[in-house]
Amino acid sequence: MTSETTLSVRSFMIGGQHALAAVGGIVAAPLVIALGMGLSADDTRYVISAALVVSGIATVIQILRIGPIGSGLLSIQGTSFAFVGPLIYVFSDLSAASSTHEALGVIFGSALLCSVAMIFLTAYVQKLRSVVTSNVTGLTLVLIGVTLVEGTAAALWGGFSAATVPWQFLLICGTTLFVLALSLALPKLKLRLVAIVVALAVGTGIATLFGEVDWALLSVEVIAFLPEFGRFGFGFDWTVVLILLPIFLVSATESIGDLTATNGLSGYPTGDSAYWGRVRGGLMGDALNSSIASVFATFPNTTFSQNNGLIRLTGESRPSIGLYAAAVILVLGVIPVFSAAVQLIPPSVISVVTLVLFAMVAWAGWQIFSRHADSLRSWVVFLVGGAGGYTLATFSEHWMYLPESLQQVLSFPVSTGAMLGLLLEWLLPATSRRAPSA
């Protein structure tokens, strides 16, 4: 075997590990969104498969760096968890007055507009970071995590209350939680990187023993999956745009942190013009890939951070490794039986895993904020933004004199808190304004 062949085999093996580390997050986000929206089994299977296919394509675009778009780094793309709560929230409002497919069409059309706007905004990434600071990013992630933890905990309590055999429900949830916590706590990095997949598999296995898994869902009528252009059509709603755009901005600052880590692990210096070129290209790649996701009726895309752990573990940061990972993710997406298998996971198992993940989102937001909270001004932005977001959401329905669309925006604490944070960051005087790293 030649050295070139040996290198290719090694790249494929490491790329497969990157794909395995990412695939749990890639499928969990659209599955949670679909369950939260109450989508049909067919539509749920579609958004999961489309998410995998788009993630594979998006990873290739990110790595190959086509013109100014893409980082050129070993960066894996996937569906963003930051959008789970906002998307479920806007869907619940839209579906009250229209059909499921019409509501989804408005969501994907509005997300497409936000994605296109982000392509242009990321060209000014250094200026953008002077407003979307660690204060705003940390605040928004904490709000996202807390609201999702609240909703997921309520769903778990509802599941327990409705369970015909409560101790079985507790055993399934407890085993899933134990396996996930153990996988995350053990010093073996490889196991931590696939903790989501392991916990979902074990939880589903336990549920199978109690007859709570519908294996009929594995029945699929097609051999290969192809995403459909505009499956649900395209609509537009300014209210949806106002809710989603702050999340796109915060997601971009998260990506800056991921890209900076990958840049450093790849042996490149941080802060020079080449670094900013890679970051700018990576953010443009995120935005373009989210546009592609909207066009093919799945949810916004972002860089994943899991691959940085594998780069540390293997010492390999060659971008070609990511292309192998993209191929594996893409193949999983075009096999319908895989997305059907994902649907076998019981809601209780999904809820336990995502409860932990959402708590980790809130914790990550707190860490981003606390690392850079070096003044009273930072605490004012964080506390007033968070308390203001929840207060406005609580009382928005009583302000009948406001336009209905504004009431809808104000009634969601995440986007309201993020906009308050942005406003305070812009207005509050500071002796010096720096753009801390995300």
Residue 176 lies in a domain: yes
In a domain, 203, yes or no: yes
- Where does the pLDDT of residue 433 fall: very low under 50, low under 70, confident under 90, or very high at 90 and above? very low
What pLDDT was estimated at residue 398?
67
Burial of 315 (0-12, 13-18, 19+ CB in 10 A): exposed
353 domain residue, yes or no: yes
d(CA 118, CA 112): 10
Asked which of 65-79, 141-155, 180-194 is least confident by mean pLDDT, the reply is 180-194
Look up residue 290 and give its amino acid. Answer: S
Q: Which residues contact 429 (CB under 8 A, 6 or more apart)?
A: none
238-265 and 273-295 helices, crossing angle to 10°: 140
Does residue 438 lie in a domain region? no
Closest among 340, 377, 334, 385 to 52, alpha carbons compared? 334
Query: What's the confidence (pLDDT) of residue 438?
Result: 44
pLDDT at 324 exceeding the cut of 80: yes
Q: What pLDDT was estimated at residue 28?
A: 87
Region 413-433: what's the mean pLDDT? Answer: 78
Share of the chain above pLDDT 70, in %: 92
pLDDT, mean over the chain: 85
Residue 202 lies in a domain: yes
Confidence of residue 333 (pLDDT cuts 50, 70, 90): very high
pLDDT of residue 437: 45
Which of 45-49, 127-131, 168-172, 339-343 shows the lowest per-residue confidence on average (mean pLDDT)? 127-131
| Domain extent for 79 | 3-427
Dist. CA 147–CA 394, nearest whole Å: 13
Q: How many domains does the chain have?
A: 1
Taking the C-alpha atoms of residue 404 and residue 397, their distance in angstroms, rounded to an integer, is 9
> What is the model's pLDDT at position 365?
86
End-to-end CA distance of the chain: 44
Whole-prediction pTM value?
A: 0.84
Q: Is 82 part of any domain?
A: yes
Q: What is the pLDDT of residues 262-320, one digit of tens each?
A: 888 888 888 788 888 899 999 999 999 999 999 999 999 888 877 787 787 778 888 88
In a domain, 432, yes or no: no
CA–CA distances in Å: residue 122 to residues 69, 264, 280, 288: 11, 21, 6, 11
Highest-pLDDT range among 80-94, 100-114, 155-169: 100-114
Contacts within 8 Å (CB) and 24+ apart, 192-197: 192/309, 193/17, 193/20, 193/21, 193/306, 193/309, 193/310, 193/313, 194/20, 194/21, 194/24, 195/24, 196/24, 196/25, 196/28, 196/353, 196/357, 197/20, 197/23, 197/24
pLDDT in tens, 43-91: 999 999 999 999 999 999 999 988 889 999 999 999 888 898 889 989 9
Model confidence band, residue 394 (pLDDT cutoffs 50, 70, 90): confident
Instruction: Give mean pLDDT, residues 147-175.
Output: 89
* CA 327 centroid distance within chain: 20
Confidence of residue 436 (pLDDT cuts 50, 70, 90): very low
In this prediction, residue 372 carries a pLDDT of 81
pLDDT of residue 403: 67
- Residue 436 included in any domain: no
